[in-house]
Structures are given as structure tokens and as C-alpha cells.
Structure 1
Amino acid sequence: MQLLPVNLAYFLEVARTGSVTEAAHALNVAPSAISRQVAKLESGIGVPLFARHPRGMTLTEAGSRLLAHARRTETESTTLVEELRTGRGAEARSVAVACSEGFARRLVPRAIADFRCAHPDVAFRVDVVARQEATRRVVEGLADVAVTYTMGPQHDVRVECAVVVPVAAIVPLGHELADRDRIGLADLCAYPLALASPGTSQRELFDIGAQLEGITVRPALVCDSLAPQYEFVRAGGGLALVGDLGDIEQSAATEGVTYVPVDHPVFRQREAQVQTATGRRPSWSATQFTELLVTSLRRDRSP
């Protein structure tokens, strides 16, 4: 059942397909009806939503913003209809979580396990994605909540919680740095390093810190997944970096590594955030789980 206004539904389908003809085919209506509703929408808003090309249509900046709104509205409408039909919206539904990999290792799955102890009929989907993608999924209604790293203010989402996350070096057991209380970048860079790619927040801050220190680094391994980095360290290939969410020491022995804090002010620019959408009615389950994530993140970062 469709709760979206007709013009918004038609706009959404054109945005998905990039063509009035394909949108009309998908919706089983005349192309002229699609064109008329999109034109009315553009006229009412007062700005063009699409750039017309011989082979299709692409969204303008205004169209992209309206698309994010339309997707949020569509997702909320679908959820509401399902809750009304089943009468189970307050207690049983699925919660979609988008998070970057550091949070998927322990914080998010542990929070899910805790939540399901009290609410076993709630199911979860966790998508492990890049930090910007996690935020985008919440903005567009593809996820109920995101747990991700950020640098700088966030304008398109509601930040439920934000904490500064220090960085620790992943060091092999028995390594000469393993007994240090903390190390500097110069200490770290004296060894082969496994680093994330330049597009990640941790690598961006590392590169800034190295530049400030006048250190030239050529990573021995570049990989955005943590599992190969851990294995690289355990095998004696060198050192790596990980965000210290406050829980890493709990499993250090079983992971066969030691964690040593890296002392440099540049890493204080990064925050871990729990994000939800603005202007969208969350389900009861999503609201309660978000509160649990906030509590878990704050607890893990407590001194």
C-alpha cells in the first residue's frame, strides 16, 4: 500500500530509473502522467529537480535532497503500514544498523545480544560499511541507526552520542614496545606498518600527524579490513592501528596481541558517533536499541 503523495511517488520512481518511460512502465501508468506530476512538483517547489538529457534524466542538487526525503518518507510509510497491519509495531520488528568495521567487532553485536535477551522477537540486520556510507544510509532511511567515526560537525543526522576515540598500536606479544605505557608516532613508524587506505579517518589523521612530525612513511600493508591487519601483526610482519573504544584489552590475550596507546593530539579530532535520522519517526525497537548503543559507547569510553 502506497502512502506517498502521487507526485512524490512518481518522482521517486523517475529518480530510481533515470527515465520517465521506465518509471511509467514500472508503475503501469502513462508516461504523460509521470511527466505531468514531476512538472507540477518542480513548479510547486520552484526549482528543477532533474536535468533532462537525450538518454535520460539525472537529479539536480535540489532533486538529490528531495530524493533523500522521499526515501525516508517511503521507509517510514512502509514501516507504519506493517505495524498497523500486524499490531506488533511496539514490540516486534527488525532494526537495521549501519556501522564501520571497528564497531562491528564487539560493540554492536554485544549490544544486539543484550537487547535480544529482553526482546527476543526483534531481529537485526547489520551492514558493515565505510563511515560516510553509514551516515548516508541513515539519512536516506536505509538504516535505523548508524555507529561510525566522524571528523567535523554533522548536519544531516541527529547525533545521539559523540565521544573522542583514542588510537592504539596493535603490537605482537613479546614485542619490545609491548610493555610501554604509550608511544609516539616516531616510535610507531620505526617499524613496518599495516595502515588503512588514505580515504579513512584514521589514515587521514595518521598522515597529518606524520607530516607534522616530519616523518615519511611507506606502509608495508594497506588494507581497510581489520582481520588481515591483525594476522599481519600476529605473524610478526609489523604493527597496526585500531580505535580504542575502551574494550580492546578484554580480548587482547585471546587475539594474541598487545595494545599500546599512541600519544598524539591529532587523533583527538576523531569522534565515535551514534546517529539517527532527523524528521523521521523511529520504531519503538529502534529507539530502545539506540539508547542501548549510546549507553554502551559511553560506558566503554569511561575512564
Structure 2
Amino acid sequence: MLNRTLRIHSAAICYFDMVRRCHSIREAARRLNVASSAVNRQILKLEGEVGTPLFERLPGGLRLTAAGEILTRHVTLVLQDVERVRGELEGLNQVQTGHVEIATVEGATVELLPAVLKRMRQRYPAVTIGVTVQGSQSIPAAVINGQADLGLAFALPRSAETTQLCVGHFRLGALVAPGHPLASHASVSYTLCAEHGVIQANSELSIHHLIAPLHKRSPAAHKPLLQSNSMELARQLARQQLGVAFQTRIGIEADLARGELLHIPLSDQGGMFSDLGLYARKGRDLPTAVESMAHLISEEIALREREELPCTPRIS
């Protein structure tokens, strides 16, 4: 088996990357298990070669300069490619190891992602996985900057720096408790929901940008709304009939099965949808472990899209 760290590049690259993550030479040295002087020497050598400081030395720690930011983009590409090569070399010996970092929206962590992780563990038990929950709007940056191998997010605009590996279309609906006045409706408009008070997602979440145009046109637009970046809080408030929340069925599968919440499709614009997509950095050759994870996520998204009830055809 190959060592976890494949040393086919300058130690300075590894040291620089760890220092910029830790904002401290001492902490970087501790994590790398080397002397602080060795790390400092490599950083000074890099700065000498570049001809300008890469870090600002501040009382609270080190901060990247503009030159440091530029070098970070190069180092991220190099280290990601090293990980891909390591995975391919291990694949030659049929060693199913590797690491996958995922940045995901909260809703996908309830049932969709656990189902994928279970299958991943069964097939590739030696692969390690990291998951970070973020709002959809911050996920592209995590993928582009190398903080995540894969991004799972709703309703992202097209980007020249990311590629969409798969996408599923899911209906937007109002979430209400079974005893809510709207519970008997087959579909509802946003204006009707606003009459009962709405729970609005803040701008970190993609649902905010999908619902905002409806809110502006609503007669209730001037009324104060309860806002949150937590979809779980929104669901809890909807259960207690403190307002109407909005989202897809992703993340509320168990609530629907238990009859604790109802998902009533929005009728605005002939029916509204949100696209759940899987993203990677454009042009990157994915390591074996990452590619395997992406395949399983794509299968799970397709499965859940097929499980959506028949509805009005999607309007582009």
C-alpha cells in the first residue's frame, strides 16, 4: 500500500498549504510533525523565489497577501492532482482507499446523503469522508478553492469554474401541519400562504432567491417575516403552525411519512421547481474515490426525482 501522503512535489508546497490553513507556522509545524524552523525556512524560500511576501505577519496570526492568494490557487491545483495520481496508483493494486470532502446543503443530510454514505461504506470501507453543511450560495467557492471535492446544492447559477455532474428537479411546496387551514389544498399560491404568515429563508439559502420575486409581488410584502438560515427551525415552526415554510421534499421525507408535515406544491408560475445539482471544479480529473462517490450521489438523486408524484410539467 502506498503512503497516505505521496511525496512527488516540493515540501514547500505542502508547508505553504498547511500554514495558510492554520494561519500559524507553529501550528502548521505541529500538524506536519516537523520543526517550526523547517516550516519557516520553506516559507522564506518561497517568498524569496516569488519576490514578495506571501503572508502578513499580524498579532493574531498569519494572513495571506495578494501574492499568497495567487499562489494558493496554484498549490490547490497541484495538491488535488497529486491526490488523483495517488488514487490511480493505488487503483493499480486494487487498493480502494482515498478521501472525499463534500460541501452540502442541510436538506441533503437528512436522508439522501446518509443513504449514499451507507452504500459507499459497504463498497469502499477504507475510503474516508468529510461532510460540511453550508448554504447553497457558499458551496461553489468551497469547490473552486479546493475545500471540497464535491458540492451538493440547490438552484445554483451556471459558473465557468464549476461543472455540473448531475441534476434532479424537485417541486417547491409549502410546508404546513395537518391541522393548518391550508392543509386541504391540492396546491397553493404564495399570496395565499402569506395571509397565514411565512417563514422566510435568508439569502444564504437558494430558496430565498427562488421565493423572493413572489414575496415582492405579494400584498403582504410590507409585513415583517420570520427569517432563518436553518431549514430545521423552519420545519419545527411549521409543525407548530407558527407560519408557512417553503422547500422541496428533500430533507422532509420522514416528516411526510409520519404525517407530521404536508408538502403542498406552489401553483405560482404554473408550478415551481428547484434543481438539486452535484458540482465539481471544472477541468479537474477526479480521483477514484471522488468519482465513485459522485456516481452514487447521482444515482440517489435520480432515484428521488423519479419518486416525485406526477405533477404539472416543468416550465423552463
Question: If the TM-score is normalised by the length of the shorter chain, which range does it land in?
Answer: 0.7 to 0.9
Deviation at 1:202, TM superposition (A): 1.1
Deviation at 1:160, TM superposition (A): 0.4
For 2:66 and 2:164, the matched residues in 1 are separated by 24
Q: How does 1:149-160 map to 2 (within 5 A)?
A: 149-160=154-165
1:199 aligns with 2:204: yes
Q: Find the residue that maps to 1:3 and give its secondary structure.
A: coil
Q: 1:169, 1:242 within 8 Å by CA — same for their partners in 2?
A: yes
* Match among 162, 172, 179 for residue 174 of structure 1: 179
What are the Cα deviations for residues 139-184 of structure 1, in whole angstroms up to 9, with x where unaligned?
A: 2333332211243212222210234443111111132312222111
Deviation at 1:288, TM superposition (A): 1.7
In the other structure, the counterpart of 2:299 is 295
Report the CA distance shift for 1:237/1:281 in structure 2 as closer, same or farther (over 3 A).
Answer: same
Matching residue's letter, 1:162: V
1:28 aligns with 2:37: yes
Matching residue's letter, 1:104: T
Report the CA distance shift for 1:89/1:143 in structure 2 as closer, same or farther (over 3 A).
Answer: farther
Identity %: 20
In the other structure, the counterpart of 2:97 is 92
1:224 aligns with 2:229: yes
TM-score normalised by length of structure 1: 0.77
For 2:177 and 2:203, the matched residues in 1 are separated by 24
TM-score normalised by length of structure 2: 0.75
Report the CA distance shift for 1:61/1:52 in structure 2 as closer, same or farther (over 3 A).
Answer: closer
Matching residue's letter, 2:163: R
The runs of 5 or more residues in structure 1 that have no matched partner are none
Deviation at 1:255, TM superposition (A): 5.2
Q: 1:164, 1:268 within 8 Å by CA — same for their partners in 2?
A: no
Deviation at 1:131, TM superposition (A): 2.0
Q: Find the residue that maps to 1:228 and give its secondary structure.
A: helix
For 2:140 and 2:38, the matched residues in 1 are separated by 35
Q: How does 1:1-303 map to 2 (within 5 A)?
A: 2-5=7-10, 8-9=13-14, 11-12=16-17, 15-16=20-21, 28-29=37-38, 34-40=43-49, 42=50, 50=54, 58-59=63-64, 63-77=68-82, 90-216=95-221, 217-219=223-225, 221-245=226-250, 248=252, 251-254=255-258, 256-265=260-269, 270-302=274-306
For 2:39 and 2:105, the matched residues in 1 are separated by 43
For 2:12 and 2:117, the matched residues in 1 are separated by 39
Matching residue's letter, 2:298: V
Q: 1:72, 1:139 within 8 Å by CA — same for their partners in 2?
A: no
For 1:114 and 1:15, the matched residues in 2 are separated by 35
For 2:24 and 2:233, the matched residues in 1 are separated by 43
Matching residue's letter, 2:302: R
Q: 1:13, 1:23 within 8 Å by CA — same for their partners in 2?
A: yes
Matching residue's letter, 1:38: E
For 2:75 and 2:67, the matched residues in 1 are separated by 12
Q: 1:95, 1:125 within 8 Å by CA — same for their partners in 2?
A: yes
Aligned length: 296
Q: 1:50, 1:57 within 8 Å by CA — same for their partners in 2?
A: no
Report the CA distance shift for 1:39/1:165 in structure 2 as closer, same or farther (over 3 A).
Answer: farther
Matching residue's letter, 2:188: I
Q: 1:75, 1:142 within 8 Å by CA — same for their partners in 2?
A: no
After superposition, the CA RMSD in angstroms is 3.8
